Structure 1
Amino acid sequence: MPAREAGEVFGPRMTLFADVLSVGLATAVASLPLLTAPAALSTACAVLRGAREDQPATAGRYFALLRRRLRTGDLAGGALAVAGVLLLAADLALARAGLPGAPVFAVVAAAIGACATVVGLRACARRESLTDWRTAVREAARDSVRDVGGSGLVLLAVVTAALCAWMLVPLAFLAPGSLALAVTAVDVRRGG
């Protein structure tokens, strides 16, 4: 086991944990305008992927990369994601209103929402999302079908992040980091 460097408190094993926390907090701050959420998560995945290549996974590197890449396509992707979430929420609210066939409709709407979430998150983890969202989404949809186990892992990561944020609200600001780490790990596992 490598020795600690001078001034290092926890040792090398805690480095990734600290990186995930700092990148998660930076992602939460960058996602506050909502339209920037896909670009923010995609940037977090890129920063955490870079840690495998010995690049620093710091909040400073995160914001530098985010500043260089925010463009119209990123904001359009964010608008599409926000519209999808609002549509799903409206559909589920209508299902709760007691319309005929509401239970079946609610299950179908939830399944569509889960599939869209998996594809969207897997698209954020792909390298292509930094430059071309269409290619990233297309390849993520293929990966979601081909790698059902990875898609299940992404859903489990979403559920875990949501439960952590629900149980302890301050964790909501750290959840994006663990979610970015999870979807990046699934993409790396797939060989992306």
Structure 2
Amino acid sequence: MSSIENHPEKNVIRVQLRQNQVLKDLGVDAHQSLEPHLTVVDCSKGDFLLHQGVHEMEQYFILDGVLKRVVANPQGKEMILRFAAEREMETSYAAWMLKTPAPYSIVSVTKARVVKLPMPEWIAFLEQHAEEKRLFEHSVMSHMSEIMAHTITLHLLDAPGRVHRFLRKHGELFDRIPKKELAAYLNLSAETLSRLKQRGKI
């Protein structure tokens, strides 16, 4: 982990941050005031950024790679709630505001680079930037709505339908996510996903 200022690729990281969907409309002064709070983290596949059940939480902005939000029951069975890639963000903002433990884990699906800051510092920043707060909270609600729509899809659509919906919504991620992970997200076996692809159904 490193601060942006001390990172050998700081100029690239600053450009990537300005392209983030949540931060792209921030002015120069706002970016400069946020930067000292940020830490750069390089993740390997399978690294946990957030563990389900913890109370210490952070805000994440994705520079490279793919993350997943995943929830597990006490028996260890997992369900992937969403994927997020560069220019997107990940958060447990709702849980922090409700003073509840993190309801899910955030895990790196591929090699990834993120910048993060403690949730109290992010919230303090938002309180000073009303428009940024509005856009951020809209993103949080959009993610929750998309997760709900995906969950309903798992019950209403057949296997090809689930895959086609993913391609329509997130086609750019199809070849980047390991097929075992994608199959789990779509509640399919890896064999079924492979068979659909071989038959030209996707």
Please state which band the TM-score falls in when normalised by the shorter chain.
under 0.3
Q: Which has the higher helix share?
A: 1
**Normalised TM-score (structure 2):** 0.25
Which structure carries more strand by proportion?
Answer: 2
Q: Which has the higher contact order (CA 8 A, sep 6+)?
A: 1
